[in-house]
Amino acid sequence: MGNINVYEKVKERLIRYAKIDTQSQPYSGHWPTTEKQKDLAIVLKKELIDIGVSDVYLDETNYVVYGRIPSNISNGNAKTVGFVAHMDTAPDASGTDVKPWVLENYDGKDIVLNEKEHIIMKAADYTNLENYIGQDLILTDGTTLLGGDDKASIAAIMTMAEYLCNNSDVRHGEIALAFTPDEEVGGLAKDLDLNRFGAKCAYTLDGDHLGWYENETFYASEAVFEFTGRSVHTGTAKDIMINAVDIAAEFIGMLPKKERPQNTDGREGFYHVISCNGDCEYSKVRLIIRDFDFDTFKKRESFLKECAEKIGSGYGHDRVKLTINHQYSNMKEILKDVPYMTAILEDAIKKAGVRPVCEPFRGGTDGAALSFRGLPCPNLSAGYENAHGRFEYVPIQSMVKNVEILLNIVNAYANPYFTNICK
């Protein structure tokens, strides 16, 4: 593929990026949520400059990295396309002192990640491993996550950029690049400056399974219940004590058991309690609600209000407070009006010799929020597996294929057909 070794480039990049701790932190009270995300931003800024990308800029306040590859089509009959990936890793498992290593030619058997700690990834538990027999896997030592979510995407985008900068004979329109913080904790690229970014249509890269893509996400809200109790000595508590922990438990019991993440899949929505803590005088329950259908989603919000009303009727309305914050909407609302973007993505995957799979994404992406800000963004999977945990891994061949898919997208937007479609 041109005059660079794509396999070695994506491998080296992911291993190098994975060693940089960029874990984000929910409820830190400030954005970006962790300063250490800037460490990777600084690396990416220098690397973009070194490989020949133009207009490289690091927002020192919001830690967003920008770059641009100018069009090499003189008549201007090509449209700008953008690519976005996030730099942070999930708070679900440690991102400190990541020790990536490569298992070549995987044989389909259990993988010993850490002999000293006896940490083994069992093939029977992680059945997706069978899809990668004969391939080369980047793994951890089993004590941290890897960070392929989303650093595998960054490695692919950076390698695509280097390829284009080193192969001037490849015709392409202008390409906008951006790397953002805090996706894992709801940042949703809120500080991406669309004017500086410069593209009117873009693709995010974030997700597992090579060849999967999404043009639909959940509608999403976060709800917080706060319960105020009354504490008194347990010996004289009869008819006086109101235990806020008991109220919290009562509320959680109201949530339909069949409508929780562990009991749903496909297009089924859910209620999910993220945390519950407190004492006799005060407790807080934080949960998220998700659904693909807008009307059903609004009914879920209404159900929570009914729960609050019922609890208030029993204990006093001043003892329950419900706050609902909208997080993101189903990007299908926007992407249905630009169907060519999904068609291009699916065709790009096919041309790379990969079977495209489109399923509603049971989560959210930066692209969901960006779409509603005027930048439509279908999502291409990064190709990692077992994200957010100690058994995460990335097949190197998947990253190589993603570079090819990205180049196919770039080629499509160089077609004059899009002159009047994607301005």
314-370 per-position pLDDT tens digit = 999 999 999 999 999 999 999 999 999 999 999 999 999 999 999 898 988 899 999
Alpha carbon distance 144, 258 (integer Å): 32
20-57 per-position pLDDT tens digit = 999 999 888 889 999 999 999 999 999 999 999 999 99
73-121 per-position pLDDT tens digit = 987 778 899 999 999 999 999 999 999 999 999 999 999 999 999 999 9
User: Are both 192 and 223 inside the same structural domain?
Assistant: no
88 flagged as catalytic? yes
pLDDT bin (cut points 50, 70, 90) of residue 125 is very high
Note whether 216 and 269 are within 8 A (CB): no
- Domain count across the chain: 2
193 flagged as catalytic? no
Residue 365 pLDDT: 87
Residue span of the structural domain in which 236 resides:
219-328
Inside any domain, residue 344? yes
Mean pLDDT, the chain, as a whole number?
95
Q: Which of 183, 206, 214, 392 is catalytic?
A: 183
Domain of 261: which CATH number? 3.30.70.360
User: Are both 165 and 288 inside the same structural domain?
Assistant: no
Question: Residue 189 pLDDT > 60, yes or no?
Answer: yes
pLDDT bin (cut points 50, 70, 90) of residue 417 is low
Alpha carbon distance 162, 168 (integer Å): 11
194-238 per-position pLDDT tens digit = 999 999 999 999 989 999 999 999 999 999 999 999 999 999 999
204-213 per-position pLDDT tens digit = 999 899 999 9
Q: Which of 21, 88, 216, 385 is catalytic?
A: 88
Question: Residue 2 pLDDT > 80, yes or no?
Answer: no
Residue 423 pLDDT: 46
Residue 29 pLDDT: 86
Domain end: 305, 328, 351, which one? 328
Inside any domain, residue 68? yes
User: Are both 165 and 235 inside the same structural domain?
Assistant: no
Residue 4 pLDDT: 85
Domain end: 282, 305, 328, which one? 328
Domain end: 328, 347, 378, which one? 328
Beta bridge partners of 219: 291
Q: At what angle do helices 6-18 and 148-166 cross, to 10 degrees?
A: 140
Which residues lie below 8 Å from residue 302, measured CB to CB, with a gap of 6+?
A: none
Q: In terms of C-beta distances under 8 Å and separation of at least 24 residues, what long-range contacts does 50-58 make, across chains too?
A: 51/158, 51/161, 51/162, 51/165, 51/166, 52/162, 52/165, 52/166, 53/161, 53/165, 53/177, 57/196
User: Are both 100 and 206 inside the same structural domain?
Assistant: yes
Domain of 337: which CATH number? 3.40.630.10
